[in-house]
Structure 1
Amino acid sequence: MTRLQNKTALITGGTSGIGLETARQFISEGARVAVTGTNPATIEKAKAVLGDDVLYIRADAGNVASQKEIADQIAAKFGKLDILFVNAGVAEFRTMDQWDEAAFDRSISVNVKGPFFLVQALLPVFSNKASIVLNTSVNAHIGMPNSSLYALTKAALLSLSKTLSGELLGRGIRVNAVSPGPVETPLHEKFGLDDAGKKAMADSIVAQIPLGRFGHVAEIAKAVVFLASDEASFTVGAELIIDGGMITL
């Protein structure tokens, strides 16, 4: 299909998981794509999937100066930007008494501060008729134990999707959000659990999902493709919850 033909797109955190699959689908729909990542090894693996025509940018998603550098590279490579998928993020789950200021600041920087200043840096580059999609989470809606900071950051990003919708619409920029439920991604490998711990966590999560399984990255990516495309030209400030019925049934 060619729903994104002649469009340029940037995906943050586009070298693994949801971001990588979204990049793959964007390319298959005709878009020229740039992705950001932090791990050189993961970037190399992404190249094997996406090919050499993609612009690969190594950048810290939580560093404000890096966001301006990303915008400069996009301007130099593409001249304009039609689509931004803000996908990079961190997910740390701790009890309230385990948080310290450094860990708090890191989650806020990557999940909220970086995205805010990336959008700001890209304002001169966006086309008139552009689309921004923010990757939030069902955790913005539910009181899951040990998710206080992660949920806080995702709720902030969801709020930003609403306020920026009003502020940027006059520039021709639509802003929307996807809120995935539990999805099978490499993110779950970063929780520091042994095999038994991973299985116990997975079983407890699946028990909360009416469909009885984790989501697949392709299911999230398809929603992002829709919101990024002209098919969603009348969709502004919306949130697509993709969670297997987790918070609605």
Structure 2
Amino acid sequence: MARLQGKVAVITGGNSGIGLATAKRFVDEGASVFIFGRRQAELDNAVTLIGGDITAVQGDASEPRDLDRLYATVEQAKGKLDVLFANAGVVELRPLEAFSTEHYDKTFDVNVRGLALTVQKALPLLRDGASVILTGSIAGVKGYPTYGTYSASKAAVRSFARTWTMELKDRGIRVNTLSPGAIDTPIMDSQVSTPEEADALRVQFAHATPLGRLGRPEEVASVALFLASEDSSFVAGIDLFVDGGIAQV
């Protein structure tokens, strides 16, 4: 039997990379999936690629009104929510000497404030016993140069999972963090200026990973499925790394 049969899921940042791969996997496993992202063309392409029971809603995870519109769409169509994958995020590399308030606000508005609002505004729809998955990162526990603000934002995400696990325990809602390592997605290209720099970054991370390669979005989607399904019914408050060992050894 499909592991998410009859479940309703929301995936922010569901139009590309890990979010897109997870949306496809969830639909294949029987879920009704709502994907949320900023770029309409990518959302349309994702709906066409995945097919089945999938709905796209355009919006920015850092904008409260956009999130209200997302959840109004879910409520009108399904009336409940079983799985929330708060996956939207941004990466902008800056060394400390190039730190700016604009850089900080851009990162924290999406990765921290937007993620908190994404979960808070879902609470009325989330059924008791639902699963909430937060996208963290190995950067939250590593000290990579130029990743300082991004790393701090992902450390905050990890902290949210601990606190929300306690705050939502009476409803049986499980909150877990899923922390990818170096995954071969378009976000890798967004961190640098040229395709050549992106290739060099991929080689650098592959060499640093004990398994000797980058991860695939589908590999992260499989772990998201585990956290979303009853297979992880006694798993709460953890940080589950999908990183080829890079943050573990």
Do these two structures clear the TM 0.5 threshold for a shared fold by scoring above it?
yes
Distance 1:73 1:103 in 2: 32
1:241 alignment counterpart: 241
Distance 1:195 1:72 in 2: 40
Q: CA deviation at 1:232?
A: 0.7
Give the conservation status (yes or no) of the 8 Å contact 2:44–2:56.
Answer: no
Q: CA deviation at 1:53?
A: 3.2
2:184 alignment counterpart: 184
Q: Deviations over 1:217-236 (max 9, x none)?
A: 01100000001001111111
Distance 1:115 1:192, change over 3 A: same
How many residues are paired up?
249
Distance 1:121 1:60 in 2: 14
Distance 1:234 1:71 in 2: 27
2:36 alignment counterpart: 36
Give the alignment's TM-score, normalised by structure 2. Answer: 0.96
Task: Choose 37-46 or 141-150, whichever is displaced more.
Answer: 37-46
Q: Deviations over 1:108-144 (max 9, x none)?
A: 0110101111211111111111000001000001111
Give the alignment's TM-score, normalised by structure 1. Answer: 0.96
Q: Deviations over 1:173-203 (max 9, x none)?
A: 1101111100000111213422332222222
1:76 alignment counterpart: 76
1:90 alignment counterpart: 90
Distance 1:118 1:197 in 2: 33
Distance 1:161 1:141, change over 3 A: same
Q: CA deviation at 1:52?
A: 6.0
2:58 alignment counterpart: 58
Distance 2:11 2:175 in 1: 15
Give the conservation status (yes or no) of the 8 Å contact 1:62–1:106.
Answer: no
Give the SS at the match of 1:201: helix
Q: Counterpart amino acid of 2:123?
A: L
Task: Choose 5-14 or 96-105, whichever is displaced more.
Answer: 96-105
Q: Counterpart amino acid of 2:64?
A: V
2:67 alignment counterpart: 67
Residue identity (%): 38
Distance 1:87 1:22 in 2: 10
Q: Counterpart amino acid of 2:102?
A: A
Give the SS at the match of 1:207: helix
